[in-house]
Chain A
Amino acid sequence: KAGVTQTPRYLIKTRGQQVTLSCSPISGHRSVSWYQQTPGQGLQFLFEYFSETQRNKGNFPGRFSGRQFSNSRSEMNVSTLELGDSALYLCASTRGAGEETQYFGPGTRLLVL
C-alpha cells in the first residue's frame, strides 16, 4: 500500500505571496492532519480534516487554511507569506473512524525570502 505523499517537496516563495501544498493520504484513510515543524518548536498542529470537514483546528492565524476533497486528498494554503512561515509542513493520515495511528508524509519544506 502506498504511503502518504506530499507535493511539492521543496518550495521557495517571497514575502506576501501565497502557497498551496498538497497531501495524498494512504488509500482508505479519511482523516488528514497538518503540522508545521520548525527547529525548537516541535510539531505544531494546524488543522485536521475528516470526510471533507474540518474537525479540529490549532492556534494559527486565518492566513492558514485548508480543505479536503471527496477522494480524501487535502490541500493547505498560506496567504500573505511571512518570513516566519519558513518551515517543514507535514501531513499525516489516519483511517479516521476511531483509528488513532497517524502516518506521516515526507513533508514540504517551505522557504520564504
Chain B
Amino acid sequence: GENVEQHPSTLSVQEGDSAVIKCTYSDSASNYFPWYKQELGKRPQLIIDIRSNVGEKKDQRIAVTLNKTAKHFSLHITETQPEDSAVYFCAAKWGANNLFFGTGTRLTVIP
C-alpha cells in the first residue's frame, strides 16, 4: 500500500517568515494530495489540495507544489501569523482507496 513520509515533525518560525513542509509518497498511482490543518483540540480541516494534473496551486498565503517524477509534494505558507500555529498533515490516495496520512508537522509561529 501507499506510504507517506512527512518532514519535519516540528517547525518553529518567526512571525512573517515562510514555512515549508515536505511529504514523499511511495505509490506512483497516487493522484490526489490534500493538506489538513488541526488546531489544538479541534478536528482536522482541509486547507488546500492538489491533483496530479497540476504542478502548483495557490490560495492566498498557502501554496502546494507537486513533483510527480520525484513523488513528493510540499506545503508553503508565506507571511506566517500566530494563528497558523497548528499540526499540519499531508495525505495521498488514488481511486477509491483510502487516504494515507503523514505523521504530521507541529508548526509554531513565534510572535
Q: Chain A residues in contact with chain B, CB under 8 A?
A: 33, 35, 40-43, 45, 48, 50, 55-56, 58, 90, 100-107
Q: Tell me whether A104 and B98 are in contact in the complex, defined as CB-CB below 8 angstroms, given that A41-B103, A42-B103, A43-B89 are known contacts.
A: no
Question: For chains A and B in complex, what number of residue pairs have CB atoms within 8 angstroms?
Answer: 46
Query: What are the residues of chain A within 8 A of B42 when measuring CB–CB?
Result: 106
**What is the CB-to-nearest-CB distance from A31 to chain B, in angstroms, rounded to a whole number?**
9
Give the distance in Å from the alpha carbon of A86 to the alpha carbon of B110 in the complex.
32
Give which listed residue, B44, B93, B97, contacts A104 with CB less than 8 A. B44
Question: Looking across the interface, which residue of chain B has its beta carbon closest to that of A94?
Answer: B99
Q: How large is the interface on B (under 10, 10 to 19, 20 to 34, 35 or more residues)?
A: 20 to 34
Query: What are the residues of chain B within 8 A of A103 when measuring CB–CB?
Result: 46
Q: Tell me whether A90 and B49 are in contact in the complex, defined as CB-CB below 8 angstroms, given that A33-B99, A45-B98, A100-B34 are known contacts.
A: no
The answer to whether A42 touches B89 (Cβ under 8 A) is: yes
Give which listed residue, B44, B45, B101, contacts A45 with CB less than 8 A. B101
Which of A33, A41, A100, A103 is most buried by chain B, counting CB atoms within 10 A of its CB? A100
Instruction: Decide yes or no whether B70 CB sits under 8 A from chain A.
Output: no
Query: What are the residues of chain A within 8 A of B34 when measuring CB–CB?
Result: 100-102
Q: Tell me whether A102 and B46 are in contact in the complex, defined as CB-CB below 8 angstroms, given that A43-B89, A55-B96 are known contacts.
A: yes
Question: Looking across the interface, which residue of chain A has its beta carbon closest to that of B44?
Answer: A104
Q: Tell me whether A56 and B101 are in contact in the complex, defined as CB-CB below 8 angstroms, given that A43-B89, A104-B45 are known contacts.
A: no
Query: What are the residues of chain A within 8 A of B89 when measuring CB–CB?
Result: 42-43
**What is the CB-to-nearest-CB distance from B99 to chain A, in angstroms, rounded to a whole number?**
6
Give the distance in Å from the alpha carbon of A111 to the alpha carbon of B45 in the complex.
24
Question: Looking across the interface, which residue of chain A has its beta carbon closest to that of B98?
Answer: A56
**What is the CB-to-nearest-CB distance from B56 to chain A, in angstroms, rounded to a whole number?**
19
Give which listed residue, A42, A50, A56, A107, contacts B43 with CB less than 8 A. A107
Query: What are the residues of chain B within 8 A of A33 when measuring CB–CB?
Result: 98-99
Question: Looking across the interface, which residue of chain B has its beta carbon closest to that of A105?
Answer: B43
Give the distance in Å from the alpha carbon of A48 to the alpha carbon of B49 in the complex.
21
Question: Looking across the interface, which residue of chain A has its beta carbon closest to that of B96?
Answer: A55
